[in-house]
Structure 1
Amino acid sequence: MKNLFASLFVLATVSCASLAFAGSDDATWIAQCIQDNKDAKVSVDVITKYCTCMNDKMDENETQSITQWEKSHPKERTECDKESGWK
């Protein structure tokens, strides 16, 4: 199980690193979102797309994590679910 988690984490980290448009702060928030959703029953690619979508919808000065912010923004969460293919 640890190997699976390590593999997913490495894949997620590489995915985040490939987000050339994301600043270092954005990459940190996205990586935390991926970590928060590591037990979801969807692929890391879907999680990465979802977290990136949510991050893009947040204000640049937002202090909440993506996981905290999504709880109070159901419209954006629904849009990102659809965009990422999360089912």
Structure 2
Amino acid sequence: MKLPILTLAAAMTFGLILAGGPARADSDDAKWVAQCVKDNKDEGQTVEVITSYCTCMNNKMSSNETRSITQWEKANKREMEACSTQAGWKGR
């Protein structure tokens, strides 16, 4: 069951990166967002909410950032709160 969910999340992530926001999608963006989705899979949110949150966070980060989204969010609470609200994250 987890493999189809992660596969769906990866496909949605790739689609959101290509379709949404500015055209700054790096080749690493899909990898970073997929890792963020995986890191947050047990947070009680839908895959759509997590993917939206992770994509938003990724878009706020510099292309030169070396930390993962999960690491970066801990040092950037304002961005985390904005992306949580935008994604519809419940309980944050």
User: Pick from 71, 76, 81: which aligns with 1:78?
Assistant: 81
Taking structure 2 as the reference length, the TM-score comes to 0.86
Unpaired segments of 5 or more residues in structure 1?
none
* Root-mean-square deviation over aligned CA pairs: 1.0
The residue that corresponds to 1:10 in the other structure is 7
1:16 Cα deviation (Å)?
1.6
1:61 Cα deviation (Å)?
0.3
The residue that corresponds to 1:38 in the other structure is 41
Taking structure 1 as the reference length, the TM-score comes to 0.90
Runs of 4+ in 1 over 4 A off after TM superposition: none
Aligned residues: 84
Identity, % of aligned pairs? 50
Unpaired segments of 5 or more residues in structure 2?
none
